[in-house]
Amino acid sequence: MTNAIKTFEFLPGHSLRIIERDGEPWFVARDVCRAIQHSNVSVAVQTLDADEEAKFNLGPTGPQVNIVSESGLYALVLRSRKPEAKTFRKWVTSVVLPAIRKDGAYVQGEEKVATGEMSEDALVLKAMEALQRKVARLTPQARGLDPAAEQTMTTREWLAARGLRGLPRGVKVRLGQVAGSLSLAAGRERLTRTQPTGLAIGPAYTEARVFARETLDRAAESIGLR
């Protein structure tokens, strides 16, 4: 079983996350509901058959989210009377699914070729650049030179692990800024993780920046935080 997460951009600032399970695409229900203007994810998934919805953990420490199968997605879309639902369905069937099933591989932005927003040559170049960055990042790990690279965490998790609670917000922000600068200087990819906001009102989830533990250690040392 593979659980690779792929992200497609439906609208600016609105992505659709897709998880591959046993070779089939499953869609993050919150993203689907947002696209079709359905305000309650829990209510939406309750209308589906048992084999059309499931739970999925977004990473080892990430939140558990509802996901829906392809048939579940169609069921939600067809039940919606919002005009956005038709646009979303057409985008999924004509752009997203063909991009996934064409050759079993997906490159970020591949769907833009189908819409004419990107040429195939530009896509190939982007794929090659992404591959080169990944090779550069993984080579030191393969040689055992960067054992902490896989241990990523947010600044909040790093502070909690060291019992550093109640620090001024400015110190926390500074830690993140320095860690970001160190990551950039080291040529690391910018990584984020979806996590709950804990807010009663407003968005339930947010994207938090994560860093290698070693990077946060160095950042803390540079600002005198021990």
- Identify whether residues 30 and 110 lie together within a single domain: yes
Q: Please state, rounded to an integer, the average pLDDT across all residues of the chain.
A: 78
Q: Is residue 182 part of a domain?
A: yes
8 A C-beta contact, residue 225 and residue 171 = yes
Which of 97, 120, 143 finishes a domain? 120
Q: Is residue 139 part of a domain?
A: no
Q: Which residue has the higher pLDDT, 7 or 200?
A: 7
**Which of the four pLDDT bands, split at 50, 70 and 90, describes residue 111?**
low
pTM for the whole structure: 0.47
Q: Is residue 69 part of a domain?
A: yes
Which of 120, 140, 164 finishes a domain? 120
- Identify whether residues 33 and 112 lie together within a single domain: yes
- Identify whether residues 15 and 115 lie together within a single domain: yes
- Identify whether residues 108 and 190 lie together within a single domain: no
Counting other chains too, the contacts that 136-139 makes at CB distance below 8 Å and 24 or more residues apart are 136/187, 137/187, 137/188, 137/189
Domain range for 30 is: 5-120
Q: Is residue 146 part of a domain?
A: no
- Calculate mean pLDDT across residues 93-101: 78
**Which of the four pLDDT bands, split at 50, 70 and 90, describes residue 11?**
confident
Give the separation between CA 138 and CA 83, rounded to whole angstroms: 45
**Which of the four pLDDT bands, split at 50, 70 and 90, describes residue 1?**
very low
Q: Which residue has the higher pLDDT, 175 or 187?
A: 175
- Identify whether residues 83 and 162 lie together within a single domain: no
- Identify whether residues 107 and 48 lie together within a single domain: yes
- Calculate mean pLDDT across residues 65-75: 92
What CATH number is given to the structural domain containing 39? 3.10.260
Q: Is residue 207 part of a domain?
A: yes
- Identify whether residues 104 and 189 lie together within a single domain: no
Number of structural domains, the chain? 2
